[in-house]
Amino acid sequence: MKQARPYPRVVVTRKAARSLAGGHPWVFEGEVISADPAENGAIVDVFEENGTWQGAGLLSQESKIRVRVVSRNANDLFDEAFWARRVAWAWQHRRTAMAGRGLPGAEPDTTCCRVVFSEADGLPGLVADRYENVLVTQVGTVGMERLRPVVYRALVDTLAADGEKIDAIFERNDGASRAKEGLSQYKGWWDGLPAPETARLVVRENGLHFDLDLENSQKTGFFLDQKYNRRAVREIAAGRRVLDCFCHVGPFGLNAAAGGAAFVRCVDVSDTAIELARENARLNGLDDRMDFTCANVLDYLPELARDRARLREEGGPFDLIVLDPPAFTKSRGTVSHAARGYREINYQALRLLPRGGYLATCSCSHFMTRDLLAKAIAEAAHQANVQLKQVEERQQAPDHPILWGFPESHYLDFFVFQVV
């Protein structure tokens, strides 16, 4: 690069340069050969040791991910207009991928969706979920923490230009991972917009109403990545008795009931989640065909297999079981342990299903790859002495885009099988 640039230089190894050239945006601490003095969270230029410019990114001095590259275009200026373009491209992606896919008579699918998905949208460390007229955000990097006012305003302005009014932004910056960036934890309404009186709101997804607690629920309050997978369950639920495991606030179970299920049992270990699921069933007029159990699914499934009377008390036998567990692994080192967990819960579910029954099962961990999950499910089927006929294979919804060259952005795999 011949032109003078105003940004501090970070020189990285050849290995890091190859990774960046392949589209991966991260430079790790151990890949840095030298670095000019720079403010934490500032823009830096990344050079290979031979002098080749590899891009510009946000510096994180306390993180093992030392630089997150945001541009490989030497003409970019990292002003407010740059970040506004990133936000606009992210929203255009959701409009293109989802705006025309709403269910007949229901709200547009962009009414509740993820508007920004971190690195996959070129905004590393930022997640922004839309719940109608409220955004819920999570910031996980020091660079994005510094850019919050600029990016938040760009979000509000971009949606407003498309006729979508955002009244408030609730920040869920209370994740433990912020400590890796030297950031404090906090949550509350962003002071750049008026604060509503409550962080509880009722929103619509797939034509159903959900009572959400933005302040106290997991992550941003709801798991939007399963939007279309919930529809897949709805499409096969008619007339069936459904067991929804790890139900959270009930979206899979509610979609099954809305699809004509004869009965739905929702199970979760959280009392709070179960109460919200019960309220959501009432909100949608589906409580006459749904019931709820607070239990640890890992204990609950074997109990039903052992005790047929208990199975009948819970509304079984079931002929459609949904498994939507939390991530059993968040690191490469615990994958083998996680694989045993996925194998076990699928085995226990398959023990309960009759021939001709259906299993919807998934993993939401990047480290539990599609092939590792498929292997665990196949081993569970062998252990249960059944065969599986695949109905369909799915991934996360397109508002959680998979960025090629960045495998960490692909984290959700979802299968539907018939037991034969």
Phi, psi of 94 (to 5 degrees): -65, -40
Measure the CA–CA gap between 88 and 157, rounded to whole angstroms. Answer: 9
Q: What is the Cα gyration radius of the chain? A: 23
Distances (CA, A) of 110 to 105, 131, 206: 14, 9, 11
Output the six-digit token pair for 360: 């919807």
Neighbours of 47 (CB within 10 A): 19
The 3-state DSSP class for residue 44 equals: strand
Measure the CA–CA gap between 300 and 279, rounded to whole angstroms. Answer: 23
Quick check: is 247 catalytic?
Answer: no
List all residues 6 or more positions away from 72 whose beta carbon is below 8 Å from its beta carbon: 20, 54, 55
The 3-state DSSP class for residue 299 equals: helix
**Helices in 132-245 by DSSP H: which ranges?**
142-161, 227-236
Identified catalytic residue from 245, 266, 362, 364? 364
CA-based torsion, 66, 71, 75, 80: positive or negative: negative
- CB-neighbour burial class of residue 27 (10 A; exposed 0-12, middle 13-18, buried 19+): buried
Measure the CA–CA gap between 115 and 134, rounded to whole angstroms. Answer: 12
Measure the CA–CA gap between 116 and 91, rounded to whole angstroms. Answer: 8
Nearest to 382 by CA among 344, 347, 336, 341: 347
Place of tokens 């960045």: 406
**Looking at residue 167, what DSSP letter applies?**
-
Question: What are the catalytic residues?
Answer: 364
